[in-house]
Amino acid sequence: MMVSLTKSTMILRPGRVRGLDNAVPTHSASLLLQASSNLCPCRAVVMGGSGSECGSFKQPLQAPIMNVHYMQAIRARYESLGYTPYRWFEADGAPPWQPLPKPLAEARLGLLSTSGAYALGQVAYHYKDDTSIRALPSNVAIEDVRFSHITENYLVDPKRDPNCILPLTQLRTLRDEGVVGELADEVLSCMGGVYSQRRVREEVAPAILEKFKAQRVDCALLVAM
Amino acid sequence: MCHQTVCLVARHLEAHGIPTMCVGSAIDIFQAGRPPRATFVDYPLGHSSGKPFDTADQLSIVRAAVAGFTRMTAPGEIQVLANRWGDDDWRAEASSTKGQDTRQPRDETPQFQLPADRSAALASGALRE
């Protein structure tokens, strides 16, 4: 199957991602590409099960870019420091799937940012697998948003402009435009640098679920740092 | 690490009835963690929803992400955005396998961004001495 770029959406699957770097374990993640918006038409190529490939792979519109391989780099970096190699989560099954229950323009959207955001007046996070959650009012003033996170080095720009990692202004715009129906009254944050996957599963994820259910959100945007 | 956390949280939420869209800048962690839907923006970590003070860039990312709720129809897809950071200097440092541990000491007391935040938390009653 040759796939050509058109203005319509292309969904390529099942796939192995190519053109990023073949060394990355890709499982069956597939990429969705679209030429007519800011979805990238050429950066990544999906190999179909039969060995097909996207036509853009042979004639890329831009120079190939090497994606950063964080899992490999961090594993090697910690090893060089004498730490036990970190065992990253690797899903062994297809993800669960829940279709949007209503049109986006009628949906109530929740937001979670793992950047360690808190509002002025709330308690900051600590650095040792802090699994607590903060609910910031959705109408919080941007200048009252603060951050604390074990990887403070990634927060230089968010501390200047929180929208880099907690897109409050942009979500308000999309709500005002009618793209999304409404925003939950509060946006959620946590300090996502929790190394214990057990504690993420048993503490963070259920607490987020409970909050989103109480907010009666129809869907949730999760912004990773 | 945050990307791994969102993968685990997204899978949990989705399994309990809430459709999710993850947005992030570490595509390898998304590929390993396989959230139900993901949007990849090839920026240095800390900028998953855009460049500082670049409203157009931020809006284009968030707009594409939420549009994915409608556009994406199968579990495990990752939509790759064409947004470009500008220069590629950050890649070398991000990919480095050497160097110091840049993480903060694993302290268990609240680490306020500003000293005044601590006073505000005490004043609101959220923090007790």
Given CB atoms, is A28 within the 8 Å cutoff of chain B? yes
**Mean pLDDT of the region A31-54:** 43
**Mean pLDDT of the region A148-163:** 90
Q: For chain B, how many residues are written?
A: 129
Note the pLDDT of residue B108: 82
* C-alpha pair distances (Å), A74 with each of A65, A128, B89: 20, 18, 18
Q: How confident is the model at residue A72 (pLDDT cuts 50, 70, 90)?
A: confident
**Mean pLDDT of the region B60-66:** 97
Q: What is the distance in angstroms between the CA of the first residue and the CA of the last residue of chain A?
A: 36
Residue labelled with tokens 């499982």: A27
Name the residue in chain B with its Cα closest to that of A206: B12
Residue labelled with tokens 């990849």: B40
Note the pLDDT of residue A196: 85
**Mean pLDDT of the region A53-63:** 39
Chain-chain contact of B12 with A205 (C-beta, under 8 angstroms) = yes
Whether B66 and A179 have beta carbons less than 8 Å apart is answered as: yes
Given CB atoms, is B69 within the 8 Å cutoff of chain A? yes
Given CB atoms, is A215 within the 8 Å cutoff of chain B? no
Ranking A25-34, A166-175, A178-187, B46-55 by mean pLDDT, the lowest is A25-34
Joined together, the tokens standing for residue B67 give 């549009």
Domain parsing of chain A, residue ranges: 10-80, 104-223
Taking 60 as the threshold, does the pLDDT of residue A175 lie above it?
Answer: yes
Among A122, A164, A174, select the one facing B46 at the smallest CB separation.
A164
Q: Hey, which residues 74-103 in chain A have their CB within 8 Å of chain B? A: 76-78, 80-81, 88-91, 94-101, 103
Cβ count within 10 A of residue B113: 20
Q: At residue B56, what is the residue type?
A: A
Name the residue in chain B with its Cα closest to that of A99: B19
Chain-chain contact of A98 with B62 (C-beta, under 8 angstroms) = no
Burial class (CB in 10 A: 0-12, 13-18, 19+), A143: exposed
Q: Which residue has the higher pLDDT, A92 or A118?
A: A118
**Mean pLDDT of the region A196-211:** 93
Q: Which residue has the higher pLDDT, A210 or B1?
A: A210
Q: Which residue has the higher pLDDT, A196 or A183?
A: A183
Among A30, A98, A147, select the one facing B77 at the smallest CB separation.
A30
- At A19, give phi and psi (nearest 5°): 90, -10
Chain-chain contact of A190 with B5 (C-beta, under 8 angstroms) = yes
* Contact residues on chain A for B62, CB-CB shorter than 8 A: 167, 170-171, 174, 221
Cis bond before residue A14 (omega within 30° of 0)? yes
Q: For chain A, how many residues are written?
A: 225
Q: Which residue has the higher pLDDT, A209 or A3?
A: A209
**Mean pLDDT of the region A147-161:** 89
* Contact residues on chain A for B108, CB-CB shorter than 8 A: 126-128
Q: How confident is the model at residue A32 (pLDDT cuts 50, 70, 90)?
A: low
Cβ count within 10 A of residue B9: 30
Chain-chain contact of B78 with A96 (C-beta, under 8 angstroms) = no
Given CB atoms, is A20 within the 8 Å cutoff of chain B? yes
- What is the residue-averaged pLDDT of chain A? 77
Query: Residue B79 is inside which H or E element, if any?
Result: strand B77-80
Given CB atoms, is A7 within the 8 Å cutoff of chain B? no
DSSP assignment of chain A equals --B---SS-EE--S-EEESS-TTS--TT-EEEE-SSSSB-SSS-EEE-TTS--BHHHHS-SS---PPP-HHHHHHHHHHHTTPPPP------SPPP----SS-GGGPEEEEEE-B-EEETTSPPP-SSS---EEEEETT--GGGEEE--S-GGG-HHHHH-GGGTS-HHHHHHHHHHTSSSEE-SEEEEEB-----HHHIIIIIHHHHHHHHHHHT-SEEEEE--
Domain parsing of chain B, residue ranges: 1-86
Joined together, the tokens standing for residue B100 give 């110091």
Of the CA atoms within 13 Å of residue A44, those in its CB half-sphere come to 37
Q: How confident is the model at residue A164 (pLDDT cuts 50, 70, 90)?
A: very high
Ranking A49-58, A177-186, B88-97 by mean pLDDT, the lowest is A49-58
Note the pLDDT of residue A132: 92
Given CB atoms, is B119 within the 8 Å cutoff of chain A? no
Q: Which residue has the higher pLDDT, B100 or B7?
A: B7
Whether A38 and B81 have beta carbons less than 8 Å apart is answered as: yes
Q: How confident is the model at residue A31 (pLDDT cuts 50, 70, 90)?
A: low
Joined together, the tokens standing for residue A103 give 């049109």
- The whole-angstrom separation of Cα B78 and Cα A24 is 15
Taking 50 as the threshold, does the pLDDT of residue A207 lie above it?
Answer: yes
Note the pLDDT of residue A40: 64
* pLDDT tens-digit readout, A183-192: 999 999 998 8
* pLDDT tens-digit readout, B2-37: 899 999 999 999 999 999 999 999 999 999 999 999
- The whole-angstrom separation of Cα B101 and Cα B103 is 6
Note the pLDDT of residue B126: 93
CA distance B115 to chain A (A): 11
Q: What percent of chain A has pLDDT over 90?
A: 49
**Collapsing DSSP states into helix, strand and coil, what is residue B88?**
coil
- The whole-angstrom separation of Cα A199 and Cα B86 is 37
Given CB atoms, is A2 within the 8 Å cutoff of chain B? no
Q: Is the ipTM of this complex over 0.85?
A: yes
**DSSP one-letter code for B16:** T
Note the pLDDT of residue A49: 27
